[in-house]
Amino acid sequence: MFFRGKEDLNPNNIPSHVAVIMDGNGRWAKKKGLMRIFGHKNGVKAVRETVEAAAEIGVKYLTLYAFSTENWNRPQDEVNALMDLLVDSTHSEIDTLMKNSIKLEAIGDLDSLPKSTRENLQKAIDKTRNNSRMTLILALSYSSRWEIIKAVKEIAQKCKNGDLNPDTLSESDFVNALSTSGIPDPELMIRTSGEQRISNYLLWQLAYAELYFTDVLWPDFRKDDFFKALFEYQQRERRFGKTGDQLHAETKPVPDASTYNKTA
Ligand code: FPP
Residues with beta carbon inside 6 Å of ligand 1? Answer: 22-27, 40, 43-44, 47, 64, 66, 71, 85-86, 89, 138, 193
Phi, psi torsion values for 261, nearest 5 degrees: -85, 175
Residue type, 68: S
In the reported structure, the alpha carbon of residue 164 is separated from the centroid of ligand 1 by a whole-number distance in angstroms of 39
Domain hosting residue 76, numbered range: 13-143+185-235
User: Which protein residue's CA is at the shortest distance from atom 24 of ligand 1?
Assistant: 26
Amino acid at 101: S
Q: Which of these, 229, 177, 226, 230, lies nearest to 204 by C-alpha position?
A: 177
**Catalytic residue set:** 23, 71
Using DSSP, how many helices (H) and how many strands (E) does the chain show?
8, 6
Residue 180 lies in a domain: no
In a domain, 176, yes or no: no
pLDDT at 251: 55
62's torsion region: left (phi>0), alpha (psi -120 to 50) or beta? beta
Pocket test for ligand 1, best of 23, 78, 96 (most atoms within 8 A of CB): 23
Burial of 165 (0-12, 13-18, 19+ CB in 10 A): exposed
Asked whether residue 245 is assigned to any structural domain, the reply reads no
Chain centroid, CA 169 distance in Å: 27
Number of structural domains, the chain?
Answer: 1
Which residue's CA is the closest to the ligand 1 atom numbered 1? 23
Q: At what angle do helices 36-57 and 223-235 cross, to 10 degrees?
A: 60
Residue burial 4-37, b: 16+ Cβ < 10 Å; e: rest: eebeebeeeebbbbbbbbbbbbbbbbeeeeeebb
Q: Which residues have C-beta within 8 Å of that of residue 81, sequence separation ≥ 6?
A: 37, 40
Ligand 1 centroid to residue 71 C-alpha, Å: 10
The pLDDT value given to residue 238? 72
Tell me if 255 is assigned to some domain. Answer: no
Number of the ligand 1 atom closest to the C-alpha atom of 68? 5
Residue 190 burial by Cβ neighbours in a 10 Å radius (0-12, 13-18, 19+): buried
The predicted model scores a pTM of 0.91
How far from 165 is each of 123, 152, 170, 176, 219, CA to CA, in Å? 38, 14, 10, 15, 48
Mean pLDDT per 10-residue segment, the chain (264 residues): 92 98 98 96 96 97 96 95 92 92 97 93 96 97 97 98 96 97 98 98 98 98 98 88 78 48 36
Q: Supply the CATH number for residue 47's domain.
A: 3.40.1180.10
Does residue 3 form part of some domain? no
Q: Is residue 155 part of a domain?
A: no
247 domain-assigned: no
- Beta-bridged to residue 37, according to DSSP, are none
Q: How far apart are CA 25 and CA 29, in angstroms?
A: 6
Q: Of ligand 1's atoms, which has the minimum distance to the CA of residue 67?
A: 5
Question: In DSSP terms, which residues pair with 212 in a beta bridge?
Answer: 190
**19 C-alpha to center of ligand 1: Å?**
15
CA 133 to ligand 1 center in whole angstroms: 26
153: in domain: no
CB atoms within 10 A of CB 216: 20
Provide the pLDDT for residue 249.
83
